[in-house]
Amino acid sequence: MNHTTLRQSFKLGLLPMAVLLAAAGPAMATNGYFAHGYGLKAKGMGGASQAMSQDAFGGANNPASMVFAGSRLDLGVDLFMPKRDAERTGTGSPLDGKVESDQTSFYVPELGYNRMLGADKSIGLTVYGNGGLNTDYPQGSFNCGAPGGNNILCGSGRLGVDMMQLMFAPTYAMKLNESHALGASLLVGYQRFKAEGLQAFDNAQQSESPGSVTNNGYDSSTGLGVRLGWQGKVGSAVTLGASYSSRLHMGKFEKYKGLFAEQGSFDIPSNFGIGLSLTPMAGVTVALDLNRINYSEVASVGGPGAVQAQLGSAHGPGFGWRDINVFKLGAQWKASDALTVRAGYNKGQNPIGASDVTFNIVAPGVVTTHYTLGWTWAASATSEFTGAYMVAPRNSVSGASLFGNFPGFPASTETIGMKQSSFGLAWAWKY
């Protein structure tokens, strides 16, 4: 069986779960394009999870936590509601205007399974949406010289992108002793993408591969990586945790090799986190995580937009996203034998600078601050229900438009902005 056949077979094996998430829609997640947390318990605590072992989402957080979580099945869905907008000002012409993305709600399912192998080993599977990008702007009435008007990036018709990243994380964890554990997850990535309305860049002057820039429908790619983790109790009230996820080298988007740098490459960047949890009194836990996402190591994501190179080339323009640090703080209180309540705060850096606003009109991942609430109700010894709510106030970035470098286009300022909220429910079976 050749490499192409293997890749095709692999894609077919991922199809059932991919269809599930594709039907639900992608998430424009909150720390850049990564989600602010994985698993609804973590989402209710601002995403803090490195030193927690509450569910079967260790494959997305810290694999070592799975051996402390017990045998369980977690199923959930998050209703994600972003609002995105873009505006151009300063030309004093029909090139000025504001648009808002039409698609404002997405369902994001999640699944976690863990099975204990005796008292000191476990195997499991976490399936989750790593993150995504989605914008869907109407054409508007921007006058870039074409009859009938243009969208805000001077193309025709609707403008936007649709990116979804789905992760399968089979996980093995083992205790070193009663207090410390190691874990490893194989990361199997599937992503799909489409772009529309970018006709202004679909030519031999702007792109190395014209015809492979926009309006080519969905394309998909797959790749592999690994997540490693450690978790350990270092005192009666203190637990520490750390994990590292490698870069996933994904297959290229052939239909969009004229858009993304390196002929359609769009890898998933490496990231790592450290965390601690404290139990200062019975029933109360406080958790703190520090995470880093290395967006700059992926050329199509971290490469600057304002470069003198064609789209799709080895050093072609990217979104210009910087590496970011994320601070996650959460607390939970076991109010009764049945009810646990949670609250959290998530503060991430904005990856987008003023010089890269134009390209990020289709990817305005500028939200930085998130407030969360959550709860779990134990209906029985084996069944529980969890809910989580998140709100992220609007943040915006303004900068000089790259269209000012085009002949005949006046200098102008563009502003991108986004705010978000989400609400999720999950059910767990402990067996």
Angstrom distance (rounded) from CA 344 to CA 39: 14
Residue 377's domain spans which residues?
30-430
Q: Which residue has the tokens 């031999």?
A: 204
Tell me if 200 is assigned to some domain.
Answer: yes
**In degrees, to the nearest 5, what angle opens at C-alpha 319 toward C-alphas 101 and 197?**
45
Write out the two tokens for 147: 């009859």
Tell me if 7 is assigned to some domain.
Answer: no
Tell me if 5 is assigned to some domain.
Answer: no
* Cβ-contact 32, 348 below 8 angstroms: yes
pLDDT single digits (tens) 85-117: 999 999 988 899 999 999 889 999 999 999 999
Tell me if 302 is assigned to some domain.
Answer: yes
At 304 the pLDDT is 87
CA-CA-CA-CA torsion sign (67, 70, 73, 76): negative
Tell me if 8 is assigned to some domain.
Answer: no
Tell me if 359 is assigned to some domain.
Answer: yes
Write out the two tokens for 184: 């490893």
Number of domains composing the chain:
1
**pTM: predicted TM-score of the whole model, two decimal places:** 0.92
**What CATH number is attached to the domain comprising 306?**
2.40.160.60
Q: Which residue has the tokens 């995470």?
A: 291
Tell me if 328 is assigned to some domain.
Answer: yes
For 300-355, the DSSP string reads HHHS-SS-SS-BTSTT-----PPPEEEEEEEEEEE-SSSEEEEEEEEEE-----GG
CA-CA-CA-CA torsion sign (228, 233, 234, 237): positive
Tell me if 320 is assigned to some domain.
Answer: yes
Helix (H) or strand (E) holding 399: strand 383-400
Is residue 14 scored above 80 in pLDDT?
no
Please give the average per-residue pLDDT across 148-164, as a whole number: 91
pLDDT single digits (tens) 46-59: 999 999 999 999 99
**In degrees, to the nearest 5, what angle opens at C-alpha 403 toward C-alphas 401 and 405?**
105
Of the candidates 403, 356, 305, 317, the residue with the CA atom closest to the CA atom of residue 89: 403
At 26 the pLDDT is 54
Angstrom distance (rounded) from CA 98 to CA 43: 32
